[in-house]
A = this chain, B = another copy of it.
Amino acid sequence: MGHSRFGDRSDVNLSELTFEAVQPSLEESGLTAKEIPYVAVGSMGVWSEEPLPAVVIAEYCGLTGAGLVRCEAACASGSAAAFTAYSAIASGQMESALVVGAEKMRQIDTPTVLEMIGRAGYYLWEFENFGMTFPAYYAVHAVQHMEKYGTTEEDLALVAVKNHRYGAMNPLSHLQHEITVEKVLGSSVIAWPLKLYDCCPITDGAAALVLASEEKVKELGVEAPVWIEAIGYSSDTANLSKRENYVGLEASVRASRMAYKLAGISPKDVDVATVHDCFTIAEIMAYEDLGFCEKGEGARMIREGETEVDGRIPVNIDGGLKAKGHPIGTTGVSMLAELTKQLREEVKPRRRQAPMKNYTALAHNTGGTGHYGYVTILRR
């Protein structure tokens, strides 16, 4: 795996940023760029002067000649790219493939970023007609969760405080400062009850993974490889008025149940997870949707510290989207890169390393408000 520093990366262009992730991933794998037969790039790309970035990125990283595709599933693009590369290898068509996540979002103005993200939903219906952007979508979820389960603004703030704490320990994180509940509650309201510190930042960043077949892994003599056990996937209506309720994301429920079944595990077997906390309410809903607790119990989990590094099931102890940052197409790849390090027990500082019991990890990556859902289970 390889992972660039996340943040405002106006110091590099998209290809240079991607190289920071691709080069270490190749070095670690023992493969050269010329040996990689296929590259799947997770990228939304709409903010770049190179909106069709796969060929330009590939060339800069020395991968010219490989088969190329860009995969897009809104904010789940990185997981979709991993699914394509994984499938290509598992089908026996190739022995290895490179998964890249690459996004440079900060070169355009924030309102345009918000509009482009808004187009990841049902643009004509939700955005044009009702003027809804993603903070507003997740505010609808938060309001209903508060109404139905008694979740409070303080509970939401606790998610931000936790993720900033781990983000501050992660040198690759976009936001590296700790915050307090008071600071979250006192920050500007974006879409009530969500305030500035309930929202993930707009981030540039890249991540990369080399995937290989069992035979190739043996041939390369990889020590303690991390395996993709299962990828679950689902989708849901893009027309929010058709959702049955707003207290969870049905695509997350379905994708996770599919992944658990394929991997032959249950939620309690998961040692560490990354979940799609684009807004604080999203992390609380994810606890419930992924079966880490019963529906309505998510707020209790954050209150009782169950998702801290030493809790029952550590979640987003890399800072999450909330503090590490959320370069759209990169996020799914970044999650798998982080979990790979966790499973290898090589995270530094050590106080950010989750204890391993089953050497099993879960990545939950959604696009839109569960318009797209991917859940990937890794095992060492």
Contact = CB atoms under 8 A, between A and B. Distances in A.
Interface of A: 13, 38, 44, 46, 49-52, 54-56, 58-59, 63-74, 80, 83-84, 86-93, 116, 119-124, 128, 231, 233-239, 254-255, 367-368, 371-372, 374
B69 A80 contact: yes
A234 B67 contact: yes
Contact of A65 (B86, B231, B235): B235
B54 A72 contact: yes
Given A55-B367, A58-B235, A73-B54, A68 B372 contact: yes
A70 B367 CA distance: 12
B238 A55 contact: yes
A55 B38 CA distance: 26
A38 B374 CA distance: 12
A72 B74 contact: no
A69 B58 contact: no
Contacts of A231: 93
A49 B235 CA distance: 21
A70 B71 contact: yes
Given A59-B239, A64-B237, A235-B58, A52 B72 contact: yes
Nearest to A116: B51
A67 B72 CA distance: 12
Contacts of A46: 46, 51
A231 B371 CA distance: 30
B235 A51 contact: no
A255 B37 CA distance: 11
Nearest to A57: B238
Contacts of A58: 235
A13 B91 CA distance: 36
A91 B64 CA distance: 26
